[in-house]
Amino acid sequence: MSNTVELTELSVAPAQDEERLTATSSTVAAGNVTASLPPADEGYQAWLVLAGCFIINVLIWGFAFSFGVLQEYYTSHEPFSSQPQGLATVGTTATGLMYLTMPLYLSALQRWPFLKIYSVWASLPFLGASLIGASFATTVPQLVATQGVLFSLGGNLVFAPTLTYLDEWFIRRKGLAIGIMWAGDGVGGVVLPLVLQALLSRYGLQITLRAVGCAMVLLLAPLLVFLKPRLPIPASSAARPIDISFLRSPLFYIFQVFNIVQGTGYFLPSNYLPMYAKSIGLPSELGSLTLVLVNVASVLGCVLTGALMDRVDVSAVSFATGAAAAGAVLAVWGVATSMAPLYIFCLLYGFTAGSYSTTWAGMIKAVQRECPGADTNVVFSFLAAGRGLGAVLSGPLSEALISSGQSMQGKARFAYGGEYGTLVIFSGCTALVGGLSWFARGIRSRSHTS
C-alpha cells in the first residue's frame, strides 16, 4: 500500500518540487514495478519538448499576433471594408480568449491529467475548422465566431497540455525555457505576416485562410507524436485537488493588476501598425514588415528576459522593460512619420514590450515563495487570464481611441496630431504602468518588515 501511495504522489507532484524532480536519476517503486525518470533541464528529451512548445507557439500564437496583416486587408476589401466596425475585435478575441480561458484548461488538466493526450489531438479539427470557416465569412460577427472564438478554443487545446509538459521538463532553467517558448511567438510573427501578405496578394482572402488552416493541421499532427510528459500520468481518473491558496496572496494581485493594465495596451501597436504604415504612405508590403520587425526583436527580448528571470528579481526586470517600452511608444512612434523611425520603433517595442510575458516566470517564483503549494501552471494560467482580460477590452477600446483621435487632427504634431494620437498615448501609458509592480512590491516589503 505504501508503495502505491508513493507512486501516486510522485506522478502528480507539481513541477516546482525541485528536490524530487531535478534528480538526474529518479526511481519510483510501485509493487514490483520500477520507473526511471529522465533528467530535467538537460538531455535530448527535454530539449525536444521545448522545441515542440516553440513550434506550437510559432503556429498558434504567431498566427494570432499576425492579425494586423489580415485587419489591413479586411478594411480595404469587400465585403468587410463597408462594415469596419468591430473588425479590431476579431484579433483581440482570438488572443484574449486564449489567455482568458487558460485557467479553465490548465485547472482541468491538473485535476484530470489523462485528458492531456486527448486534448492535443482534439485541437486539430478546431483549428482547421476555424480558419476554413472564416474563409466563408461575409460579416464581422462570423469572423469573430470562427477566426476569433473557434481558433482560441483550438489553440488552447494544444497549447495548455504542452505547457504542462514544459513545466515538468524544466525546473532550474524554467525562466530560460519559458523565454524560448515565448520566442516562438516572435518567430511566427516574423514568418507568418510575410506568408499571409504574399498569399493575400496573389490568391485573395478565401484561399489564404483555407491554405493556412490546412497547413496548420498538417504541421501540428506529426509534432504531437513526439510531445510526451516527463512524469507518469496516473492510471486513476480520480480528480486531483487544486491548490489555489495563492488567490489569497496580496502579492499575486499586485502582479495581476499591473499585468492586466499592460495587456490592455500591449496588442494595440501590433494590430494597427500595418494600417498606420499605410496612413503615412507606405505600401502594404512595407506595412507588413512592421510586424516582422516587432517579432524579430521580441525573439531576442524573450530569450534575454527569460535568462534574467533565473538570476534577477522580477520586479526590476518588469520595471525596466515597461519603462523602455513606454519610451519607445511615446518618444519614437509618437514622432514617426516616415519609414525609418517607424521601423526603429518596431524593433524597440518588440524587444521590450514583447518580452513582458516572459517575466511571468519570475512572478510565479515570487508567489510560490509566499504560497509554496501553488502549482506553476495554475498561477501561470491566472496571469495569462489577466492579460486576456486586457486583450479583450483592448478591441472595442482601440476603436474608441481611434474615433477620439480624429478630433485631434491638426491640434498637435507628428502622430499625435492624427487619428492614431490617442492610441499612441494610451499604449505608452499602459506599457509604463505595467512595470510599476516594482514600486508596489517595495511598499509590500516595507509593510512586512514594519
Q: Which residues contact 51 (CB under 8 A, 6 or more apart)?
A: none
pLDDT for position 408 = 64
Number of Cβ atoms within 10 Å of the Cβ of 44 = 9
pLDDT digit string, tens, across residues 113-164? 888 889 999 999 999 999 999 999 999 999 999 999 999 999 999 999 988 8
Lowest-confidence pick of 19-28, 267-276, 303-312, 418-427:
19-28
Read off the amino acid at residue 43: G
pLDDT for position 223 = 84
pLDDT digit string, tens, across residues 187-205? 888 888 889 989 999 999 9
Binning pLDDT at 50, 70 and 90, where does residue 95 land?
confident
Query: Measured between alpha carbons, how far is 408 from 389 in angstroms, rounded to an integer?
Result: 28
C-alpha cell at 331: 518618444
pLDDT for position 239 = 61
Number of Cβ atoms within 10 Å of the Cβ of 447 = 9
pLDDT over 70 (residue 412)? no
Percent of the chain with pLDDT over 70: 86
pLDDT digit string, tens, across residues 290-346? 888 988 898 888 888 888 877 788 888 888 899 999 999 999 998 888 889 999 999
Number of Cβ atoms within 10 Å of the Cβ of 33 = 9
C-alpha cell at 22: 531535478
Average pLDDT over residues 360-376: 86
Query: Measured between alpha carbons, how far is 24 from 27 in angstroms, rounded to an integer?
Result: 10
Average pLDDT over residues 76-97: 83
Query: Measured between alpha carbons, how far is 429 from 407 in angstroms, rounded to an integer?
Result: 20
C-alpha cell at 280: 503615412
pLDDT for position 426 = 92
Query: Measured between alpha carbons, how far is 275 from 69 in angstroms, rounded to an integer?
Result: 9
pLDDT over 50 (residue 63)? yes
Ordered by start, the domain boundaries in the chain are 2-37, 44-449
pLDDT for position 194 = 86
DSSP bridge partners of 26 = 37
Contact 427, 435 (CB under 8 A): no
Binning pLDDT at 50, 70 and 90, where does residue 9 land?
very low
Average pLDDT over residues 87-112: 86
pLDDT over 90 (residue 372)? no
Q: Is 237 helix (H, G, I), strand (E, B) or coil?
A: coil
Contact 186, 297 (CB under 8 A): yes
The domain over range 44-449 is classified in CATH as 2.60.120.10: no
Name the DSSP letter for residue 242: -
pLDDT over 60 (residue 430)? yes
Query: Measured between alpha carbons, how far is 115 from 45 in angstroms, rounded to an integer?
Result: 21
pLDDT digit string, tens, across residues 160-181? 998 888 888 888 887 788 778 8
pLDDT over 50 (residue 18)? no
Average pLDDT over residues 65-71: 84
Whole-structure pTM value: 0.73
